[in-house]
Structure 1
Amino acid sequence: MTDRINISGQIRLLGGKKLADYLAGEIVAGKLKPGMKLPPERELSDRFNISRGAVRRVLALFRQQQLISQSIGSGTFVTERAALLANPDPQDQVSAISTSPAELMVARQLIEPLMPGLIVQNATVMDFQRMAECIARSEAALTIEEFEHWDEQLHKALAHATHNSFFVQVLNLTNQVRAQGEWGRLKRNSLTPENRHCYEVQHREIVAALTDRDAGLARKRLLEHLQQIEMNLFGIKN
């Protein structure tokens, strides 16, 4: 794991993180819209004073997140999926208080699986230590409220491990919805000992995949976890 962390650090030193943050910020702000063509690698390399290899690594990450598509001879384009991350006009924003648990789960399944790619690239030893602490404390929790707190803290740790402010902001909004009475009622009714054990196993699988820097497996396990939560909350049968 140490070698892979060092590699992540080298990417930062080469300026890859700066380019990644720029692209993510432009997408979130709605300035890079679906169908828009990104500048060529050489231009990005010159603009951010980084190597072409660093540019390719950043673009590969965004392609992995399905936020861009690349075609030989045509270039690099922003995808329709990127529109899901764009901030709406403030006048059109829906209050977190009016967001239902069902709406929240749909949004989480669209957004949170984007995080593993960034976590694998950017997470530090301290980030993984925080994840492990959250897992240990959630498993030791004696009440539903305590378990829910540390479950929330684990997902917060995942967002912070992306080292991207957008995902932290999304997590904060998620927690506002989770603080509503309706979410708490559904969680209390669905958090049986069997379901809690299932969540604990899934948490460990997600963090283990991230620790191994396996973004694909972590994304799969995280989506499975979110789908399981949705089924348990709303009594959906397989």
Structure 2
Amino acid sequence: MSLSTPLRDAILDRLQSGHWRAGDRLPTERELSERFGVSRTTVRKALLELKQQGLIEQTVGSGTFVAEQVGASLGRRVQQDSSQHTSPAELMEARLAMEPAIIDMAIRNANQADLQRMDACCANAESAQTLEDFEHWDAELHQAIADAAHNSFVVNVFTLMKTVRAQGDWGQLKKKSVTPERRLAYQREHRAIVDALRDRDAARARELTLAHLLHVRQNLLGY
């Protein structure tokens, strides 16, 4: 572990707890060095990492301050940490709980542009020449359905799930599990879900979404 890590984590704890807020001035390099028993070089390294993450700002002659956008930067950091430590099984469990649950919102709030976007995602997935492209448009379709709920909290959660899908473990499992026949089945299932949403048939859309996700879980995880 780098010598700068304990210092960086200590500063992060103070930022996350609100002990230091946007605009607050941090202790000087010398004070941090003495408080944590590390060299000034180690302090500078820790501060540089935090600066690169948009958490602090440094002004020559004035010192180091908590960045005005610290809240947004901390939120992005939490998302990144969550996505890196979520297994495919955990993601699948979350998808099974959440995706059928938002169908009513999507049906109630989806407009014509939302439905056209879903159609475009289906068409791009069907014409994709590689598994990577197909997986991209697969994820975009599920994001489009979430966006159609027009609920910012739902959109943020699904954006995080899409980030997890981009991680290596999910990609490796998908590569091993998707055969041409399974891909065609997924494409048919996607079209059926979008058709049910267009028809404003909530019961059918929920049933089709759950069946699709169970199909994906069976192919991906074997249960």
TM (norm. structure 2) is: 0.63
Shift of 1:235: 2.6
Shift of 1:137: 0.6
2:143 to 139, 145, 156: 156
Q: How many residues align?
A: 146
Q: Which residue of structure 1 aligns with residue 54 of structure 2? A: none
Alignment of 1:36-115 (within 5 A): 95-115=82-102
Q: Which residue of structure 1 aligns with residue 30 of structure 2? A: none
Counterpart amino acid of residue 154 in structure 2:
F
Q: Check whether the contact 2:143–2:162 (CA below 8 A) recurs between aligned residues.
A: no
Q: Which residue of structure 2 aligns with residue 208 of structure 1? A: 195
Distance 2:222 2:180 in 1: 16
Distance 2:172 2:142 in 1: 20
Match status 1:176 vs 2:163: yes
Q: Which residue of structure 2 aligns with residue 198 of structure 1? A: 185
Gaps spanning 5+ residues in structure 1: where? 1-89
Q: Which residue of structure 2 aligns with residue 13 of structure 1? A: none
2:121 to 112, 131, 134: 134
Distance 1:114 1:95 in 2: 22
2:110 to 88, 102, 123: 123
Gaps spanning 5+ residues in structure 2: where? 1-74
1:220 to 182, 202, 207: 207
TM (norm. structure 1) is: 0.59
| CA RMSD, Structure 1 to Structure 2 (Å) | 1.6
Distance 2:153 2:220 in 1: 26
Counterpart amino acid of residue 187 in structure 1:
K
Shift of 1:123: 0.5
User: Which string of whole-angstrom CA distances, capped at 9 and with x for unpartnered residues, describes residues 23-82 of structure 1?
Assistant: xxxxxxxxxxxxxxxxxxxxxxxxxxxxxxxxxxxxxxxxxxxxxxxxxxxxxxxxxxxx
Give aligned-pair identity as a percent: 51
Distance 1:195 1:217 in 2: 22
The secondary structure found in structure 2 opposite 1:95 is helix
Shift of 1:96: 2.1
Distance 1:192 1:166 in 2: 34
Q: Check whether the contact 2:117–2:144 (CA below 8 A) recurs between aligned residues.
A: yes
Shift of 1:218: 0.2
Q: Check whether the contact 2:109–2:149 (CA below 8 A) recurs between aligned residues.
A: yes
Distance 2:216 2:153 in 1: 23
Q: Check whether the contact 2:88–2:170 (CA below 8 A) recurs between aligned residues.
A: yes
Counterpart amino acid of residue 109 in structure 2:
N
User: Which string of whole-angstrom CA distances, capped at 9 and with x for unpartnered residues, describes residues 163-196 of structure 1?
Assistant: 0112111111111211111110000001101110
Distance 1:176 1:148 in 2: 12
